[in-house]
């Protein structure tokens, strides 16, 4: 049989580093992927900014939001929750006239309401960042290709429900999963990416695995090759059953 090509889901950039294809679409996306996406954000203002931008991104490309982020920061007072919570009708009119941002009235009003909900949380003794991070799962996904990356999770569904009960809007489960990815609560970097397990929050291997201990889960890159090898031996494509030990415990 001919050698089977292993799809690692990544492309190698001019710098020799492996990234998902979306991160190689522009210098801006590459810089964001390499330095920000998936790194822990644990302060209230930082989480509020990212929650707001994820809401604005809904239905659009992240590249669009990223290009407009400097204008967003200027328009929304650096995403200081106290400042945004004080926005009134004149501010809404100003934002709707600002061509530098995404001029969606519903999303603008939701951002202001979410700032007020953030302040109300704090006044009740609950910090937005601490609340969001309290939904960190026991395990993170181990995606080999972009198709393996989930769009939501039990935790993002629960987080969405909790935030809505606290007065937040535009915080659906998919948007909340994107937030969890962006601020490091889960690690959905592809296992062959140079950014996998670089946040300090998650290890490259499932919690039960140790390098060289094949009684547990296999090292991430080895899983890619082992799945194909086991499939070739059986003269059939690799399946999840072939590679059960590559998956984290649930």
pLDDT tens per residue across span 35-59: 999 999 999 999 999 999 999 999 9
**How far lies 26's CA from each of 21, 59, 163, 194, in Å?**
10, 20, 34, 17
pLDDT tens per residue across span 147-158: 999 999 999 999
Contact 15, 231 (CB under 8 A): no
Do 81 and 168 sit in the same domain of this protein?
A: yes
pLDDT tens per residue across span 228-239: 333 333 333 333
Do 147 and 105 sit in the same domain of this protein?
A: yes
Do 51 and 157 sit in the same domain of this protein?
A: yes
Check whether 189 is labelled as a binding-site residue: yes
> What's the domain count of the chain?
2
Q: Can you tell me the distance from the alpha carbon of 62 to that of 26, in angstroms, rounded to the nearest whole number?
A: 12
Do 109 and 217 sit in the same domain of this protein?
A: no
Interhelix angle 44-57/62-75, nearest 10 degrees: 130
pTM (2 d.p.): 0.80
Other beta carbons within 10 angstroms of residue 3's beta carbon come to: 7
- Which residue range(s) make up the domain with 242? 205-246
Contact 149, 198 (CB under 8 A): no
Which of 149, 182, 215 lies at the terminal end of a domain, its last residue? 182
* Residues annotated as catalytic (active site), given as ranges: 32, 54, 62
């Amino acid at each position: 049989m001919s050698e089977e090509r292993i799809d690692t889901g990544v492309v190698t950039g001019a710098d020799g580093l492996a990234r998902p294809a979306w991160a190689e679409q522009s210098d801006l996306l590459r810089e964001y992927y390499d330095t920000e996406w998936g790194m822990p954000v644990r302060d209230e203002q930082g989480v509020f900014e990212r929650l707001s931008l994820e809401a604005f991104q809904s239905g659009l490309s992240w590249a669009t939001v990223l290009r407009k982020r400097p204008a967003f920061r200027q328009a929304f007072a650096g995403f200081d929750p106290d400042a945004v919570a004080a926005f009134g009708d004149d501010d809404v009119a100003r934002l709707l006239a600002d061509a530098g941002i995404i001029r969606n009235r519903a999303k603008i009003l939701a951002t202001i309401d979410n700032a007020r909900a953030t302040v109300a949380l704090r006044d009740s003794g609950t910090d937005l960042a601490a609340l969001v991070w309290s939904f960190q799962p026991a395990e993170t996904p181990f995606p080999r290709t972009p198709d393996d990356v989930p769009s939501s999770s039990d935790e993002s569904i629960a987080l969405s429900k909790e935030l809505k009960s606290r007065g937040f809007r535009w915080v659906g489960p998919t948007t909340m999963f994107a937030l969890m990815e962006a601020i490091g609560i889960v690690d959905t970097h592809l296992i062959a990416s140079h950014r996998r397990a670089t946040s300090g929050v998650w290890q490259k291997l499932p919690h039960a695995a140790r390098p060289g201990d094949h009684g547990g889960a296999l090292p991430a890159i080895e899983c890619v090759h082992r799945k194909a090898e086991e499939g070739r031996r059986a003269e059939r494509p690799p399946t999840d059953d072939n590679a059960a030990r590559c998956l984290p415990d649930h």
